[in-house]
Structure formats: structure tokens, C-alpha cells
Amino acid sequence: MRRVVVTGLGVVSPVGSNKVEFFDGLMSGKSGVRALSAPFADKLSIRIAAEVDFDPSLHFSRMKVGSLDRFSQFALVAAKEAVTDAKLVLDESEQRRAGIYFGTGIGGVGTIEEGYVEIYTKEVPRFKPLTVLMAMNNAAASQVSIEYGLKGPNLTFSTACSSSSIAIGEACRLIRDGYADVMLAGGSEALLTYGTINAWISLRALALPDEQDISASCKPFSKNRSGLVLGEGAAVLVLEEAERAIARGATIYGEIVGYGSSSDACHITKPSQEGQVQSMRLALDEAGIDAKDIDHINAHGTATSVGDAVETAAIKEVFGDHAYRIPVTSTKSMHGHMMGATGAIEFMAALLCIRHKSVPPTTNLDIPDPECDLDYVPNVGRSGLDIRTIMSNSFAFGGSNAVLIAREFKP
């Protein structure tokens, strides 16, 4: 069976927009959560989010910016970093064996919302000509494919919070089974729009602002957690067949060895312990390892009351007594919940734990919850650990679960 390794990493996030800034930010407990800067913020009842400091003019011409939704801009910048990091150069024959699998929850919602405002409130007679091409969910993947001549499979997954984890898992299988040699995989999301945030407020899923420190509003696994904080960003990973990567002297961040996907099939919002357990066990089975071999878990950990408790119980069911010996982190406490991009960003964080032998903290965890009693690395990261094998969990609205396992690569 062909082995699949990660040879390039690229990220745009609220805590850092390259892999070094990103991981350093996580380890230091940097929060990307702040008061929303958008001009419509005063109209909202909840005005906090994890925004990216991003100037598109630093990356694209004025004409190019006008043809790309923000989520595609993020994707292209993250892809450029990943491809550069991997030192990836493809000739024409290699391009046919290279593709992209990508995830997004809502695609170019900024473009759609802008168009609706113009049509319904400003009475502009028609949409801008490129509206469809900017807003479609597969726009980001297609733009990256065009940019790098990726002529192999091009597929966009939209399964809410698990979108990019599924994209990575399925891209891995594509290489493993011989249908491709190189895949770019990840996800992008730019959903901090007036309409989208209002919809989440109506769902009553968003965190209330912390009265002392707004940047501490996202509190995964803490007894006083009040909900998730919306974020934005993108992550792209270069996946490559191992022998090819070794032959060209590529840097290898880790080997993807396990992927499990399941559906709760019970409720559109309420998570299922059974479904989460199934996906974790499937990933462990595919990896061919025992639960005790996992050294670190990047949890889904959204800071919702029900979600954190169910994930805690699911981890206990899968890992037994070993669950209490695993450092478990929710990096959402710092970068927020990026929906379709979250899985890729968190898997990247976990891969970097292998490389740096360090684990980021779950910040804002000051009041322990008896229902969430695992080692959640409260507030201060840890270094000098023997991290060889990691698990990353993504559990979505709609009941779509995805779990990824990677380990230190040994030829």
C-alpha cells in the first residue's frame, strides 16, 4: 500500500498567517478573538469574532481582487505558502497526477450578500457579472487548480465543520489507492458577514463577550463556556506519495495513517457520542494502532455546553484510562471556529506538535467543568514532549464526523 506524507503547509488565520507565526501564536496563547471591526458591527447584538488581518492588495492586483471572493483570496495565499514550503514544481505529466480536494461550509457568502444588498436595498437592476463565479463553493479550489496547473481530481466538500478534514482524508485515500501522486488539500472560510453572523445569533450558538477581557470569550471545556466564536481563515496542505517525496528530498511533516468518517444520523445540531466514537475507532483501525499510541488530540472543542461534554465522553469511551494521560487541546479557544476551514487548520496545528514536540494550550480554561475532566492543557502550552502520533477531531452540524491520525514519518 502506498504511504502518504505531508510536505507543505500554508495557513491564513487570526493568530498568524504563516506556519511559524501560527504555531508560535498558539503556543503563546495568543487570542485572535476581538471586537468585530466591520462597519455593520454596531447593528449586531453579539459583536465578537476571530478576524484575519488581511490586505488583499499585498497579494493580488486590483483587477484580480475584483474577481475573487475573500474565501478564495485566503485559499490562494495559503496555497502559495504550502506549495513554496514544499518546493513543489510539477511538469506537464506530473500535473495530470496532481489535484485538489477542498472544503468550505458556505463558499463565497460575502459576494452573495453584497449582491443581495445591491438588488434589494439599492435597487441595482442586476448582479455584477462575476457574481456566480466568485460565490460558487468550488471557486477557491478551482482558482488554486488554475494557479498551479493541477489537472487531476478537483473536488469541493461542504459538510459544515468537518469539510476540510474530509477533504484531507479523501485526498489521502486518492494517493494511497494510486489515483494521484500529489494533492493539495484543505479548506477556506470567510463568513464574517452581517447576514451570516445574524443567522448564528438567531441560532443562539455564539459565545457572549467576556466582561473582563473580550479576547477570552471562547472557553472550550470550561464550566462557564457560553458558545462558539466565529472565525475565518484557510489552510492548505501538500499531500504526496512517500517515495516521491523522499526521492526529491522534500521536508516531511508527518505521515497520514488514519481517517475515519461517520454520520450521526440522529439530529441536525445535537452531537452523538456514538457517531464520534465510531469515527475515532475507524481512524484507529485504519492506522492499525492501539488507542494508547495516541500522544495528543486536537479536539473539536467548540465551547458549546452540549458539544464539549459529548466529545469528552466519546474520548473516554474510545481511550479508556489512557484518555486521562493524553494532552487534549481546543485551539478554537484562540482562532475561533472557522467552519469549513477548521479541520485543516487544526490538523496542521497537530502536525506541528509532532515537529516541535510541543502542545498548545486550551486558553480561557479557568473554571474546571466536572463533566470535562480530561487533561485539556489549561492556559499554558507544554514543550519537550514525546509527541509522535496525533489525532484531530472534526464533528459537524448535520452529524458529519471526520477524524484524522498522523504520525512521525519513518522511511
| Helical (H) or strand (E) element with 313 | helix 305-319
Active site residue 300: yes
In the chain, % helix, strand, coil (3-state, to 5) comes to 40, 20, 40
Q: For residues 133 and 73, what is the distance between their CA atoms, to the nearest angstrom?
A: 13
Give me the catalytic one of 161, 172, 218, 372: 161
CB 308 within 8 A of CB 372: yes
% residues pLDDT > 70 (the chain): 100
161 is catalytic: yes
Q: For every residue of 45-75, which 3-state class applies, written as one string?
A: CCCEEECCCCCHHHCCCHHHHCCCCHHHHHH
267 is catalytic: no
Q: Identify the active-site residue in 218, 300, 335, 353.
A: 300
Residue 26 has pLDDT above 90, yes or no: yes
CA distance 375 to 364: 14
Average pLDDT over residues 157-164: 98
Q: Where are the domains of the chain?
A: 4-247, 258-407
Task: Please give the pLDDT value at position 125.
Answer: 87
Please check whether residue 304 is in contact with residue 228, taking contact to mean a CB–CB distance below 8 angstroms. yes
Other residues' Cβ atoms within 10 Å of the Cβ of residue 105: 27
What is the bridge-based pairing of β-strands 98-103 and 254-263? unpaired
Q: What is the DSSP letter of 209?
A: P
DSSP-assigned beta bridge partners for residue 101: 155, 185
DSSP letter for each residue of 132-163 = HHHHSTTHHHHHHHHHHT--S-EEEE--GGGH
CATH architecture of the domain with residue range 258-407? 3-Layer(aba) Sandwich (3.40)
| C-alpha 342, offset from chain centre | 2
CATH number of 4-247: 3.40.47.10
pLDDT for 234-282, tens place per residue? 999 999 999 999 999 999 999 999 999 999 999 999 999 999 999 999 9
C-alpha cell at 343: 479541520
Give 32-73 pLDDT, tens digit per residue.
Answer: 999 999 999 999 999 999 999 999 999 999 999 999 999 999
**Per-residue pLDDT for 1 more than 90?**
no
Say yes or no: do domains 4-247 and 258-407 share a fold.
yes
Q: Give which of 350, 335, 346, 396 is closest to 158, Cα–Cα.
A: 396
The pLDDT of 114-118, averaged and rounded, is 94
Of 172, 335, 337, 353, the catalytic one is 337
Please, are residues 275 and 38 in contact by the beta-carbon 8 Å criterion? no
Residue in the block written with cell 475507524: 282
